[in-house]
Amino acid sequence: MKRESASSVQHVRLHESGPMPAGNTEYGICGYFLIFISGFLLLITFPFSLLMCLKVVQEYERAVIFRLGRIRSAKAQGPGLFFVLPCCDNFVKVDLRTFNFNIAPQEILTKDSVTCVVDAVIYARIYDATMSVVNVLNARASTNLLGATTLRTIVGTVGLSELLSDRNTIDKAMQQTLDSVTHQWGVKVERVEIKDVRLPVQMQRAMAAEAESTREARAKVVAAEGEMKASRSLKEAADVLSMTPQALQLRYLQTLQSVAEEMNHTIMFPMPSHLLSAPETILRRFVGQPQQQQQQATDTQTLIDVDTQF
């Protein structure tokens, strides 16, 4: 039972157990002897030794101090001045500002078997300097490589239409996946954005043809609906005009007025033929020539003209 517990303790990650506080750190006899010698040299060379012992970190930096290979404190030092022992302590500066990097373009096969080239950008920051130094060799490079593999995994599970139209969902899914892993490295992924999606030329032409066909079909449907509504309106208007003939004449005059608003138009005014034949009939009746004689005279004149021509 003791061996099993010892092996389980050895496999516990540092970020889970937490670095040991300074008071509980055991350096051994040699370690304490080296610390004593370092302190003795510090006193002998004082105040010149302060140049080697006093260090400064900026507001956006933290310092993880190691004493004889062990973490001196679970909390990183800074910002400002801090004290180190020469020959025993060394420290690593960690920048806490948000950093970004571009994921190299990845040629990915989507869920619907379409090959596309996708690239993205990731914004992240280190929130725990101790974990970023102890648990991973290079937090930024590891986050970059993890972002590339996560991008291939996420895009491979969605279709092309979803990739082009619903990028926000894909970005959030990538951010949650990355953050769940980089949390162990002391890195917080703040934002993930897909920059560009490049498709093959043939696929672009096929999509353009499909979109054009869809627009043409939609336009034809809209035109057909408009024609149907216009025909119904014309039928209703014809029914109203048939009830009052005077309304048709008024509409005709209104149309002439709208056409004659500009002087460069020529108006053709059609006149019914029965309006021209009525005065002629009245005139002949006034003269006294019967209509039948007039018709016979007209026929005789026509025969004479034909004989003359032959």
Neighbours of 110 (CB within 10 A): 19
pLDDT at 16: 47
Task: Please list, in sequence order, all residues whose beta carbon lies within 8 angstroms of the beta carbon of residue 130, skipping any fewer than 6 positions away.
Answer: 19, 64, 71, 74, 75, 76, 186
DSSP string, 160-203: HHHHHH-HHHHHHHHHHHHHHHHGGGTEEEEEEEEEEEE--HHH
Give the DSSP letter of residue 23. Answer: G
User: From start to end of the chain, where are the E strands?
Assistant: 54-57, 61-67, 70-71, 80-83, 89-95, 99-109, 115-126, 187-198
Give the pLDDT of the chain (310 residues) as one tens digit per residue: 333 333 333 334 444 444 444 444 677 777 777 778 877 877 887 877 777 788 888 998 999 988 888 888 778 888 888 888 888 888 899 999 999 989 888 888 888 888 889 989 999 999 999 999 999 899 999 999 999 999 999 988 888 888 888 888 899 999 999 999 999 999 999 999 998 888 878 777 877 787 788 888 888 889 888 888 888 888 887 777 777 766 766 777 777 677 666 655 566 656 555 555 656 666 666 665 555 555 555 555 544 443 444 4
pLDDT at 84: 85
Question: Would you say 178 and 189 are in contact if contact means Cβ atoms under 8 Å apart?
Answer: yes
Can you name the residues that pair with 90 across neighbouring β-strands? 66
The 10 Å CB-count burial string (b at 16+, else e) for 18-56 is ebeeeeeeeeeeebeebbeebeeebeeeeeebeeebebe
Q: What is the pTM of this model?
A: 0.60
pLDDT at 19: 44
Neighbours of 12 (CB within 10 A): 10
Question: Would you say 188 and 182 are in contact if contact means Cβ atoms under 8 Å apart?
Answer: yes
**Short-list 200, 192, 193, CA closest to 107:** 200
Longest Cα separation, the chain: 157
The kind and range of the H/E element at 6 are helix 2-10
